Amino acid sequence: MPTDEVLMLLLAGARLAATPGVQAAELDPVVSRLVRRDAGVDSDGHAQQVLTGALPPLWEGGWQPVDVVHVARRRVSQRAARLVAAVVTAEAGTGPDAGRAPGAWTAQVAGLGARARSVQEWWRAERIEPGAAWRDVLRVIGLFRELPRLEQLLAPPSGWSATPWPVDAPGADPKVLHRIRSLLAKAESTEFTEEADALTAKAQSLMTRHALDTAVLAQRQGRAPSADVVARRLHLDDPHTEAKAAVVQAVGSANEVRVVLLPSFGIATLVGFRDDVDLVELLVTSLLLQASRAMADAARSGGARARSTPFRRGFLYSFAQRVQERLTTAREAVNAEARADYGAELAPVLAERSAAVDRAVEELFPTLRRRSGTSVDPAGWHAGRRAADDADLGSGRQSLPSAP
């Protein structure tokens, strides 16, 4: 089969796969032709060539390695995400820019954990029929062709000599972060609530106070606050992505981190000082785990309604609101302690930090606009609020009184 005919089939099938709402049966004619010509799935490497060639434009358009794997998982399947991980890993190791990538980029690629390095290796590892493999290939190519541009948070290969945003800028002491992660890991693994509360409270206090001390020190050294502002993407998986994003927003708001959501792709961009962004990521991971467990408990005792989508969405939105209230109270307590130590020196430092974050958001998202609220199930709302009252946030308190 001539090469140009293989490419024609791949690109024609990809265009069809990119059509909203297209069904598998509609792809079958193209898939069948590809199977007849190449039952060994990309034995000549044509699909690998097309997929690899689609990556540089994505990098130039603001996408990063973990982003494209996430969106393939969300839009296509877990299996397709492993295909993308294989192609991205291969491109990183053999492309013209191999060896020049910054640490943040290579860390993302390494974190993908891809075992395969080609379409054919992926197909063999997945042990699926050739038709299923070719269908995944077409869907991924189609996905790559339709992805929009994103904000450039990490320099693409063409600009690895200058990074727009200091994602690798010095932040919290690695030893401090290690202690915090260790404390949270112990808190999540213990069966004793009081021990988990104490461990998480210690972790939150340690990070919050470290961030304040670092801010005052930077001000004394004359370092511009904007130099320490970072932008980082957080990926949210189905189900109830937007409700989960409300939890991210709640934690971010309580910690002076701005959260910008791209709901169609399940991506939240966190903008703030690195210490604060680190804390938000750690807390969100813990809180979503706690919320998931609490929803499972509610489902076991609440019947069919508690297992419904409206209930679960309402649960998460209410959980987020109450979490924000509790986190804000906890942060204010830490700030009060810092004000007692630093006096009038602290207020202008905090104001400058907030202004620096706002400027960064305005620069990255000049056309940002707020979205309207979402209707939720009242029973789920109240159940989520009760669960948030019981959640371990590291505030040093078992719970707060429920709002009237």
> Using CA of residue 292, residue 298, residue 300, residue 304, what is the dihedral sign?
negative
Question: Do 134 and 241 belong to one domain?
Answer: no
In a domain, 168, yes or no: no
Q: What is the DSSP string of 247-284?
A: HHHHHHHHTT-EEEEEGGGTEEEEEEEHHHHHHHHHHH
In a domain, 403, yes or no: no
Q: What is the pLDDT of residue 379?
A: 41
In a domain, 85, yes or no: yes
Tell me how many domains the chain contains: 2
Question: Do 75 and 31 belong to one domain?
Answer: yes
**One-letter identity of residue 365:** F
Question: Do 78 and 9 belong to one domain?
Answer: yes
Q: What's the rounded Cα separation, in Å, for the pair 18 and 22?
A: 8
Tokens of 316: 């998460």
Q: What is the pLDDT of residue 388?
A: 55
Q: What is the pLDDT of residue 375?
A: 41
Task: For residue 52, give its domain range.
Answer: 3-150
Q: What is the pLDDT of residue 184?
A: 77
Q: Which of 90, 117, 150 is the last residue of a domain?
A: 150
Question: Do 191 and 232 belong to one domain?
Answer: yes
The C-alpha angle 317, 21, 131, rounded to 5 degrees, equals 115
Question: Do 183 and 105 belong to one domain?
Answer: no
Tokens of 274: 């690195």
In a domain, 69, yes or no: yes
Tokens of 85: 């991980």
In a domain, 187, yes or no: yes
The answer for residues whose C-beta is within 8 angstroms of residue 399's C-beta and 6 or more apart is: 389, 390
In a domain, 139, yes or no: yes
In a domain, 347, yes or no: yes
Question: Do 233 and 305 belong to one domain?
Answer: yes
The answer for residues whose C-beta is within 8 angstroms of residue 253's C-beta and 6 or more apart is: 259, 324, 328
Q: What is the pLDDT of residue 311?
A: 78
In a domain, 162, yes or no: no
Question: Do 107 and 216 belong to one domain?
Answer: no
Q: What is the pLDDT of residue 119?
A: 97
Running DSSP on this structure, what letter comes out for residue 305?
G
Tokens of 395: 């505030």
Question: Do 64 and 109 belong to one domain?
Answer: yes
Q: What is the pLDDT of residue 151?
A: 93
Contact indicator for 109, 88 with CB cutoff of 8 Å: yes
Question: Do 140 and 182 belong to one domain?
Answer: no
- The strand order across the sheet containing 229-235 reads 229-235, 267-273, 258-262
Q: What are the helix and strand counts (H, E) for the chain?
A: 15, 3
Q: Which of 97, 118, 150 is the last residue of a domain?
A: 150
- pLDDT tens for each residue of the chain, 404 residues long: 445 777 888 988 988 888 888 887 889 999 999 999 899 999 989 999 999 999 999 999 999 999 999 999 999 999 999 999 999 999 998 766 667 788 889 999 999 999 999 999 999 999 999 999 999 999 999 999 999 999 999 999 988 865 454 444 445 678 888 888 888 788 777 666 566 656 766 777 788 888 888 888 888 888 776 668 999 999 998 888 888 999 999 989 888 899 998 988 999 999 999 888 988 998 899 888 877 877 777 777 666 666 677 777 888 888 888 878 877 877 888 889 999 999 989 999 889 989 999 999 999 988 876 554 444 343 444 345 455 555 555 544 443 333 33
